[in-house]
Chains A and B, each alone.
Chain A
Amino acid sequence: MNSVKSAIREMFPDERNVLAAEAAFQELIV
Chain B
Amino acid sequence: MTYDDIAGLSGTGSPERSTGLGDTGCMRSGFTRVEARGGDRCEVNRTGAFRDGKYATALPILWAERRGAPVVSFVRIDDRPIKVYSQIRAPDLVVVLDSSVMDVVDVLSGLKKGGSVLLNASHPVQLGISPVYTVDLTGIALKENLVVAGSPILNTPVLGALPESGSSP
Give A contacts to B, CB under 8 Å: 1-4, 6-8, 10-12, 16-25, 27-30
Residues of chain B contacted by A6 (CB below 8 angstroms): 48, 51
Q: Which residue of B lies closest to A16 (CB)?
A: B144
Complex CA gap A1/B28 in Å reads 11
B141 at the interface (CB under 8 A from A): yes
Residues of chain A contacted by B101 (CB below 8 angstroms): none
Stretch at the interface among B31-39, B57-65, B80-88, B130-138: B130-138
Q: Which of these, A8, A18, A23, A25, contacts B164 with CB under 8 Å? A: A25
Residues of chain A contacted by B158 (CB below 8 angstroms): 24
Residues of chain A contacted by B165 (CB below 8 angstroms): 28
Q: Which of these, B47, B153, B164, contacts A11 with CB under 8 Å? A: B47
Residues of chain A contacted by B135 (CB below 8 angstroms): 24, 27-29
A21 touches B145 (CB 8 A): no
A4 touches B162 (CB 8 A): yes
Name 30 interchain pairs, CB-CB below 8 A, sorted by A.
Answer: A3-B51, A4-B160, A4-B163, A7-B45, A10-B47, A11-B45, A12-B156, A16-B145, A16-B146, A17-B146, A17-B153, A17-B156, A20-B140, A20-B141, A20-B157, A21-B157, A21-B161, A23-B160, A24-B135, A24-B140, A24-B158, A27-B135, A27-B136, A28-B165, A29-B124, A29-B133, A29-B135, A30-B131, A30-B133, A30-B134
